[in-house]
Structures are given as structure tokens and as C-alpha cells.
């Protein structure tokens, strides 16, 4: 008889971006850590982050200025305490990265080169040319791989977290008092489900970009953490606020490539297909307006012209500076036969960053005991209705370190990890039925892009709701009667995340930040200046 594989650890980290790796490094001082990651260890949204990390590092800047810029971008929904924590703890976190070996770009005087992006009133973006995320990720990974207390499990995908829903013997089940004791995880290469048993679990699974047809996110961004937390009864907040990056390279029939906002901060300008500047008629800041304003403006111009893209004029920056400061963007565009030093660049908005997520407190704790969430998967209150550029990596750094402090204390108090049942692997994979089900992913992405995109309406949202509810049920029924695979797990999570976004968007009857509903074109502070929280009650979506 084949024995089930069980891995016991003090801390389980699901995801290997900047939040997960930072948390792992900190808690590894006090116990064993297992990191579960779907692909190779470096694949994450962090690795794709070009722009940089916003932080107050200049005498010409101030905490209050950074706080106010963040609050303004968040359009009334930011938690000021969370923003204050992030901003004030930011510089020390940058210092720690430098001590670990992160090589940030410096000016001719050897001082950190600070860029500026949309919505910022000062130059405060520390960066490693135009591949900041990759530089940070590689340094953190090197630190993790050299730590004796940390084990990385590549090509492993979490199926569900283990809670009272699964436990056997002696535990009362209550929707208001749920604990996490690890996760069921699929070893993708072996096709085996492993029980990871842990005192504390961190969700750092990144975003939900793959819910949409056009996205700047990697293939792994399938909303896994949000979907798992929701199924377990955790609170999910503000997922109607999906940020669409205004400028991704327009490439028909291929993945979107992000053109960093830093390039507009350096002087690039948006033009119509007739090569006319248009942003100043929408916002006095022109091409440096916050992302939601720029994305909606582009969307409106595309609808007016019937074109599939607008232009970004990068030539204004100058050839020497473009090649020196944005080598990755320059070379990537060259690989598509576009010389951005001489040609206009066709761009279009694409799904980029989820500002909502699993609801946490100021220490990264979710509404499920012993379950933490950090990074894009979490809703800490920092981003409100719209994320300020380059605050994402900063938030991940600050709150993952804060989470590690509470997680260590919580782990010390746990004497016994309850036993969870073996994974039920009954059933066989129905290849014929899967051929039909697998098309659901493309259908969800098209529905979300067409009806739940930059501009929404009640009609569009309700149409998407009806169709995706049917798809989600179809996927769940197939999931329950067949053995799990990576693609099936991802499809299930995409369907769940898409439905949560739609339900949240339908509930918020106003337009604010990234959520624009043409049936409610104005803000309603009296009714909706608050978080939009949803929860799973006995298998049904309920509102808090």
C-alpha cells in the first residue's frame, strides 16, 4: 500500500515573490520553512516589476508628501494607518535590501537615482534600471537558497488550505472561528497530492491577471490565494478594484509586454493614432496622471477612433537616455522590430494589479487564525481604490516583515498541529470531458475583458455574472469527480476569482478609483466610502 506523503514544517509559504521570500527569510530565524511555488522559484509578479520601489530617500521629500500622494491615488478608500506604516517603515526596508546585496541604480555622485512616476509629487522611485523586480527577486532567492532552515518546493501548486472543514476528531466547526493548519498541495511532476502540515501559513500567491484576456501578468497569476481563502471562509475585500496598466505594448495574438510608467515619468507622451496629444484634456497632469485616469482616457480615445491602440512617444526622452535607463524595454521592443528611439510605440491598457484581495489587519493577519497574506494577494488597506505607482513592492516588503513578527509569536504558542485526513484521490481524469471544460478559461477571459474591464455597466456586469456562474458550477462539478491537475486547479481558481470580482463590482453602486460604472458615474461617499467585503457562508457568497 502506498503511503501518503506528509511534510511538517513550522511555517508554510505559498508563493515565491518578494512578499513570500522576505517573510521566509525573517521567520527562518525561528523555525523551519517550506516554500511552495507553482513553477520555477523565480517566476512571480515581482520578477516582472520594472518601475521600482517608492520610498522617501531624499531630503527634498517627506513622509507626509508620500502619504498624501498615496491617499490621493486611493480615492478615499485607503486606510491611513496602513499607509503611514508603509511609508515610514519604507526607508529601513530599502536599507535592508541594499545590505542583502540589491544593486540599485545610482547617479554620477554614487547616490541612489530616484525616478518619478504618475501620481507622485516628488522623485522617490528607487530602481535597478528598468528591471527592479528581477534584481530584488534574485537577491532574495540567493539568500533563501543558502538558508539551512528553508526548503523550496518548485512545480508544486496549492489546492486548498487545511481548516476545520477538513479536520477529523475533536474540533468544532464554526464559520466565525476558523484555523489554518497547512495546505493540500499537488506535486505537478509526480501527479501526487502532498499534505503540508504547518503552524502558520502565508499566502503570497500574487494577483489575478490571468482572469482577463489581456494582462501584463505571468501565466501563474490565476487568483489562487484569493480563491483558496474565500473557499475556506476568509474575508475578501475590494476586488472590484482591478488596476489596468495604461501602457502595454500592442502585439496582436501574443502576450502583453508592459511599458513601465517610469518611461512616462522620464518624459514620454501619449498620442492618438492621429499623433495628437490627448491626456491634458482629461487631467492637468497629462501623461503623468494616475493610472485609472490614463487607462479610462485611452479607453475613451479607442472607442472614439475605433483603433485598437494609441501611441506612446518615447523619442522625446532622447536615444542615449532611453538606452541607459530603460535597456530592457528598449531591447524587448527591438526584438519585436520596434526601435523606440525612432518610432512611436503602439500601446493598449491591460489588466495589471489587484488592489483588493484577502482582507488583513496591519500585521498581515487574515480573518482565519494562523493564516497570513502579504503582497498583491492581500488587501492591507494601503491601495484603496487605486494603487499609486511603485507602492506595490514597498507594501510587500513592509507588511511581510510585520507579518513575520506576529507569525513567529503565534507559532511559539502552538503545541500541536491537528491531523488532517488523507487527500481523496478517487476518480479518474476524463479527457473527453476536459476537452470541453478547458475552453472555459478562454471564455472567462473574454467575458471579463469585454464586460468587466476599464469601463463597466450594470448590463455588462449582469451578463458576465450569469455566464460565469454557469461556468464556475460546471468547473466545480468536474473538479469534484476527477483527479486534480495543475490546469484544473488554475481553472477553478480563475472561475472563482472572476465571480468574486463581478459580485463586488455589482455591489458597489458608484464610480471610484479603478471601478467605473457608467450607470453610477459619480462617487457616493455617504454610502460607499468603505470597504466592500464578501465572505463564503456555507458555499454561498455573502456580504459583510
Question: Catalytic positions, please?
Answer: 291
- Give 299's contacts (C-beta < 8 A, 6+ positions apart): 349, 453, 454, 455
Contact yes or no for 395/88 (Cβ under 8 A): no
CA 153 – CA 148 distance, rounded (Å): 14
The distance from CA 85 to its chain's CA centroid, rounded to whole angstroms, is: 20
Compute how many other C-beta atoms are within 10 angstroms of the C-beta atom of residue 226: 32
For residues 383 and 79, give the distance between their C-alpha atoms in angstroms, rounded to a whole number. 8
Q: What does the alpha-carbon distance between residue 19 and residue 202 come to, in Å, rounded to a whole number? A: 9
> How far is residue 36's CA from residue 43's CA, in Å, rounded to a whole number?
12
H-helix segments, 189-326: 224-231, 262-265, 291-305, 319-325
d(CA 425, CA 412): 34
Strands 192-203, 182-187: parallel, antiparallel or unpaired by DSSP?
A: antiparallel
Give residue for cell 503552524: 199
Backbone phi and psi for residue 248, each to the nearest 5 degrees, phi listed first: -115, 145
Residues constituting the chain: 544
CA 90 to chain centre: 19
Nearest-angstrom CA–CA distance, 85 and 295: 29
Quote the strand ranges of 370-430, DSSP E: 371-373, 378-379
Using DSSP's 3-state secondary structure scheme, residue 337 falls into coil
How many other CB atoms sit within 10 Å of the CB of residue 286?
Answer: 17
Amino acid at each position: 500500500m502506498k503511503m501518503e506523503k506528509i511534510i511538517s514544517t513550522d511555517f508554510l509559504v505559498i508563493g515565491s515573490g518578494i512578499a513570500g521570500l522576505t517573510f521566509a527569510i525573517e521567520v527562518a530565524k525561528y523555525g523551519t520553512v517550506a516554500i511552495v511555488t507553482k513553477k520555477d522559484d523565480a517566476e512571480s509578479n515581482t520578477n516582472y516589476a520594472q518601475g521600482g520601489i517608492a520610498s522617501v530617500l531624499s531630503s527634498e521629500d517627506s513622509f507626509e508628501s508620500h502619504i498624501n500622494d498615496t491617499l490621493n491615488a486611493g480615492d478615499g478608500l485607503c486606510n491611513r494607518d496602513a499607509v503611514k506604516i508603509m511609508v515610514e517603515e519604507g526607508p529601513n526596508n530599502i536599507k535592508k535590501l541594499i545590505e542583502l546585496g540589491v544593486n540599485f541604480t545610482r547617479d554620477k555622485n554614487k547616490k541612489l537615482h530616484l525616478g518619478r512616476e504618475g501620481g507622485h509629487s516628488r522623485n522617490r522611485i528607487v530602481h535597478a534600471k528598468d528591471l527592479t523586480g528581477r534584481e530584488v527577486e534574485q537577491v532574495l532567492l540567493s539568500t533563501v537558497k543558502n538558508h539551512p532552515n528553508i526548503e523550496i518546493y518548485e512545480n508544486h501548486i496549492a489546492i486548498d488550505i487545511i481548516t476545520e472543514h477538513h479536520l477529523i476528531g475533536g474540533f468544532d466547526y464554526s464559520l466565525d472561528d476558523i484555523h489554518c493548519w497547512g495546505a493540500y498541495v499537488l506535486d505537478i511532476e509526480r501527479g501526487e497530492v502532498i499534505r503540508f502540515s504547518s503552524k502558520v501559513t502565508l499566502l503570497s500567491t500574487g494577483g489575478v491577471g490571468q482572469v482577463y484576456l489581456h494582462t501584463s501578468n505571468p501565466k501563474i497569476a490565476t487568483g489562487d490565494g484569493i480563491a483558496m481563502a474565500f473557499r475556506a471562509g476568509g474575508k475578501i475585500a475590494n476586488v472590484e478594484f482591478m488596476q489596468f496598466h495604461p501602457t502595454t505594448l500592442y502585439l496582436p495574438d501574443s502576450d502583453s509586454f508592459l511599458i513601465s510608467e517610469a518611461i512616462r515619468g522620464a518624459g514620454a507622451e501619449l498620442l492618438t493614432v492621429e499623433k495628437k496629444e490627448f491626456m491634458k484634456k482629461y487631467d492637468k497632469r497629462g501623461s503623468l496622471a494616475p493610472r485609472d485616469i490614463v487607462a479610462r482616457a485611452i479607453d475613451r480615445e479607442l472607442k472614439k477612433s475605433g483603433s485598437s491602440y494609441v501611441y506612446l512617444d518615447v523619442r522625446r526622452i532622447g536615444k542615449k537616455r532611453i538606452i541607459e535607463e530603460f535597456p530592457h524595454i528598449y531591447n524587448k521592443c527591438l526584438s519585436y522590430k520596434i526601435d523606440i528611439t525612432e518610432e512611436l510605440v503602439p500601446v493598449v491598457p491591460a489588466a495589471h494589479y489587484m488592489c483588493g484581495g484577502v482582507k488583513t489587519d496591519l500585521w498581515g493577519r487574515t480573518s482565519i487564525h494562523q493564516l497570513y497574506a502579504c503582497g498583491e494577494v492581500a488587501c492591507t488597506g494601503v491601495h484603496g481604490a487605486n494603487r499609486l505607482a511603485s507602492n506595490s513592492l514597498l507594501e510587500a516588503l513592509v507588511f511581510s516583515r510585520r507579518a513575520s513578527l506576529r507569525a513567529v509569536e503565534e507559532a511559539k504558542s502552538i503545541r500541536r498541529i491537528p491531523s488532517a485526513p488523507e487527500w481523496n484521490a478517487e476518480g479518474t481524469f476524463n479527457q473527453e470531458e476536459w476537452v470541453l471544460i478547458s475552453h472555459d478559461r478562454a471564455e472567462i477571459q473574454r467575458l471579463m475583458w469585454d464586460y468587466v474591464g476599464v469601463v463597466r455597466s450594470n448590463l455588462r456586469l449582469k451578463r458576465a455574472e450569469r455566464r460565469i456562474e454557469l461556468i464556475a458550477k460546471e468547473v466545480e462539478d468536474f473538479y469534484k469527480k476527477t483527479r486534480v491537475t495543475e490546469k484544473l486547479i488554475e481553472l477553478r481558481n480563475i472561475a472563482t476569482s472572476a465571480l468574486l470580482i463581478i459580485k463586488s463590482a455589482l455591489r458597489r453602486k458608484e464610480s471610484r478609483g479603478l471601478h467605473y460604472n457608467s450607470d453610477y458615474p459619480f462617487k457616493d461617499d455617504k454610502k460607499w466610502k468603505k470597504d466592500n467585503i464578501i465572505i463564503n457562508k456555507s458555499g454561498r457568497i455573502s456580504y459583510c
